[in-house]
Structure 1
Amino acid sequence: MSKRVWIGITFIVFVMCMGNAQRVFASNVSGTLVIVTSFPPTLFEKFKNAFEQKYSDVTVFVRSKKTSAAISFINERVNEPADLFWASAPDAFEVLKEAGHLQRAFLQTDEDGARIGSYPIDDPDGFYRGFAVSGYGIVWHQDYLKRLGLKAPENWRDLTDPSYAHHIGISAPSRSGTTHLIVESILQSQGWENGWATLSEIGGNLATVTARSFGVIDGVLAERFGIGAAIDFLGMSAKATGSPVDFAYPAGTAFLPANIAIVKRSTNPIAAKAFVDFVLSDQGQMLLFDPEISRLPVMQSLYESAPAHFANPFGDELTNKGIAFDAQLSRQRYQLVNSMFDVMITFRLQALRRTWKVIHDAEEALKNVNAPHLVEQVKEARRLASQVPVSADDAASSELSAVFVRHKPGLSVPFRQIKLESEWATFARDHQDRAHKLASDALNALQAQTTKSRS
């Protein structure tokens, strides 16, 4: 027998063995699979149906929960079935990883794994894998802006422009892992103090704070407001399916992997692993290009055949906009940042609008007036309205951040957290009242001065 024939026979036997192994594996993939996810039905239903078609002996059940509720569910409802956690926010996976609720199922031999910018796509410790790339930015309704003569925003700071007052929607980070990452992106790219100053001023322009991140894109589509802070796929899928919306990645945004992990208490790890393999297969990754899903695959080679409107997060244009996101810092101060946003912004929308409106009015009125003392007075009003009661160092302290837990109906929070949040609320009220008075007094003085000069 010639060497060439022997190699050919060996290859055929190898292929047959591989085929048999795949059939044996497929036959072992059965039973029920429970997925806890924050993704919308437009995504999970398509993957569920495709997976059940491939593995006909598996029945997939989806527990749809916002990210913060999903973390609580896996952390606390330990007797409830859960095989997979599937969501965008990597810091949420870090929270569950640290709490010991994820399986270390994906250890890699390659220490230099794939990255998005400087961020690893897969958890280096093997507890979760990235299946798509998430970008965070600004979505807007084109007809809405055109009708009102508003420019499309390009950066986070653009959203502080007084022309956008009552035209912006955002979700609370305590209710949305997406918004938490948006808030963290702003804090990490601009610095703690400057970032909160930007968030406070954006707060003065808000039309509403929605209950979930999906409420932002729904509000834009319904033209309840014209602009929203959102994850890219919500804007891209709306645009791809014919809605008159557009989306922009601001400079200083984050590009991070959306992830999937096997929950430690999984009762069907074989099916769970098969589902992970499926979403990372060519078939699963190509499914992300579906117009109703419109997510960015982690397989770089697929972008050569991507639809024309798809951005490439691995290209220079977008990687230059991204920041080196610190997921460890975000995870550590996760609940502290969420609580601060609610106390300083969510629960003070009317006061924020009133304060920032008078500051903006005073700044506009003083543009072409020679009144240095009034200019300084309004600068002080802006400084007061922008301040937060916690320093960057304290926020990064594990001693302080460990105090905070998620607010849940019917469950108490630590007394120290209640005390601190009460102090923050007093701080916000006092600073905004003082800022409002300074700006109002400056406006009144300017009006009196103008009246006197005319008489």
Structure 2
Amino acid sequence: MPCNPSLTRRRLLGALGLLCAARPLLAAGPDELVVLTGHAEPALSAFAAAFRETHPEYRLNLIRRRPHEALALLSRLGQGGVDVYWSASPRTFEALRQSGAWRPLRLDRGELPECVAGLELVGPQGHYLATEMVGHGFAIDPPALAALGVPRPRDWADLADPRLAGRIALPVPSQFGFAAAMVDIVLQAHGWERGWALWSEIAGLSCLVRHGSGTVRDEVGDRRAAVGLSADAPVADDAPLEFVYPASGGLAPGHVAITAASAHPQAAEAFVAFLLSERGQRLLSAPGIRKLPVRPSVYRQLPAGYHDPFRAAATGAYAYRGDSASGRLGLIATLFEQMLVHRHEELCRLWARVHELERQRGVRLDEIRRQLCKPPLDERQARDPQLLAIFRRSLEGSPQPAGQTGWPQLAEQQRRQAAKRLTELEPA
């Protein structure tokens, strides 16, 4: 058939037009939603799979960072291309809010409460929201406790039992974000002086857990520790361990926020809404995740015996009030480090000598205890705004703030005095 140039040209132009029209459709795929998070497996896999089912139009890109790394990334120009930050570090969220890092959340909160007991679930001006909670407490191995002759601990003071020497797993507060609040719970419940005295004795009976050396649940699950201080229900349903929520308890939130520089605010809002939906909240109870939902209605669907902080709060539990903005938690983490983690082995030896001498004499050595337990600064000094400002951006995993080098020396001086007095009292 003879070729018709004009017809061929019209067909070619038509084909090109169709191709050009189709190009946006061919190039358009799911919008990539970049979520920066501190959460670990299996929570990430479970939430990613469920979100993909609910919103197949979005492609989820999860990036894991520790809080101090997240703070640095989100403080950059463009906020590292991140759309959502989802993690458990109240100090990070508040520090970034103060620098204008978040866009206000316009989520319809519906049944979601503003707070539970002393814990606020909504950040200032609604720039970040709590998506889950963990309760501070004790992971225990009941058979190990029974073998030691130690009763099930009900509160923090029960851990100051010499029979637990070397069998308590204690996370270092400067390396685990939840642990600084855990220390503060005891300080609020018992007062500054008595609280630090209790922490000194507990630390002297403990093995320290550092970032990268395992977890508290590993120490208890592998039978190296009989008690582990933790901030979540630490074991799967089929594990032989238990979790105790102490009488003087506290709740720690995990938050979510949308970055001010988000290129995909609609996708980001969909992700936040999913986390707080019935389905997202039910996922928190899965074995291996075991967090506490912030949606009260979800607890009616959870197994019998699952801890309900809303019900516990109604009976007076969880009076602890955290303060993520003042710098108090950063100060507490640094003070704990320099007073109780620095030369920890020496602290353990001194407490072993105290306990043995008290056992022999049948009386408490109050003078020596005061020397071992006294913090390097009093509560009035700890409230100084200029001092607190130094620690306001001190996050777990970051270098300890400089300028407080006198604290380890003061603690060491008190230990030398205690050791000298012990030597005088011990039999020749």
Q: So what's the TM-score if we normalise by structure 2?
A: 0.84
Q: Distance in 2 between matches of 1:441 and 1:305?
A: 62
List alignment gaps of at least 5 residues for structure 1. Answer: 1-27, 369-374, 449-455
- Mark the structure with the bigger radius of gyration: 2
Deviations 1:43-82 (A, max 9, x none): 1211111112222232222222333443344346865232
Letter in 2 for 1:361: E
Check conservation: 1:66, 1:176, Cα contact below 8 A.
Answer: no
Distance 1:395 1:73, change over 3 A: farther
In structure 2, the partner of 1:453 is none
Deviations 1:178-211 (A, max 9, x none): 1122112122222222221111111101122321
Check conservation: 1:143, 1:244, Cα contact below 8 A.
Answer: no
Letter in 2 for 1:262: I
In structure 1, the partner of 2:123 is 123
Q: Distance in 2 between matches of 1:288 and 1:222?
A: 25
Q: Distance in 1 between matches of 2:67 and 2:314?
A: 26
Distance 1:185 1:367, change over 3 A: same
Deviation of 1:423 (Å):
1.0
* Deviates most, 64-73 or 92-101: 64-73
Distance 1:62 1:167, change over 3 A: same
Is 1:334 the equivalent of 2:318? no
Q: Distance in 2 between matches of 1:41 and 1:253?
A: 26
Check conservation: 2:37, 2:63, Cα contact below 8 A.
Answer: yes
In structure 1, the partner of 2:352 is 357
Q: Distance in 1 between matches of 2:38 and 2:79?
A: 20
Distance 1:197 1:68, change over 3 A: farther
Check conservation: 1:142, 1:246, Cα contact below 8 A.
Answer: yes
In structure 2, the partner of 1:429 is 412
Check conservation: 1:38, 1:66, Cα contact below 8 A.
Answer: yes
Letter in 2 for 1:342: E
Letter in 2 for 1:430: Q
Between Structure 1 and Structure 2, the one with more helix by share is 1
Check conservation: 1:66, 1:177, Cα contact below 8 A.
Answer: no
Q: Distance in 1 between matches of 2:91 and 2:395?
A: 18
Q: Distance in 1 between matches of 2:83 and 2:193?
A: 40
Distance 1:318 1:41, change over 3 A: farther
Deviations 1:145-191 (A, max 9, x none): 33444332221111121111111112222211111221121222222
Deviation of 1:29 (Å):
10
In structure 1, the partner of 2:423 is 440
In structure 1, the partner of 2:23 is none
Deviation of 1:246 (Å):
0.6
Deviations 1:355-412 (A, max 9, x none): 11111122222217xxxxxx6xx31110011111122122222201222464899x98
Q: Distance in 2 between matches of 1:147 and 1:33?
A: 51
In structure 2, the partner of 1:95 is 95
Deviations 1:245-297 (A, max 9, x none): 11111122112432211123323222111111001111111222222222221
List alignment gaps of at least 5 residues for structure 2. Answer: 1-27
Deviation of 1:142 (Å):
2.7
In structure 2, the partner of 1:150 is 150
Distance 1:274 1:205, change over 3 A: same
In structure 1, the partner of 2:300 is 304
Q: What fraction of aligned residue pairs are identical, expressed as a percent? A: 28
Q: Distance in 2 between matches of 1:384 and 1:201?
A: 12
- Alignment length, in residue pairs? 399
Is 1:226 the equivalent of 2:214? no
Larger relative contact order, structure 1 or 2 (CA cutoff 8 Å, min sep 6): 2
Deviation of 1:347 (Å):
2.1
Letter in 1 for 2:356: D
Deviations 1:103-155 (A, max 9, x none): 22248899x95321143322251111122232111111233333444332221
Check conservation: 1:137, 1:232, Cα contact below 8 A.
Answer: yes
In structure 2, the partner of 1:257 is 253
SS in 1 for 2:230: strand
Q: Distance in 2 between matches of 1:317 and 1:383?
A: 34
Deviation of 1:321 (Å):
2.6
SS in 2 for 1:307: coil
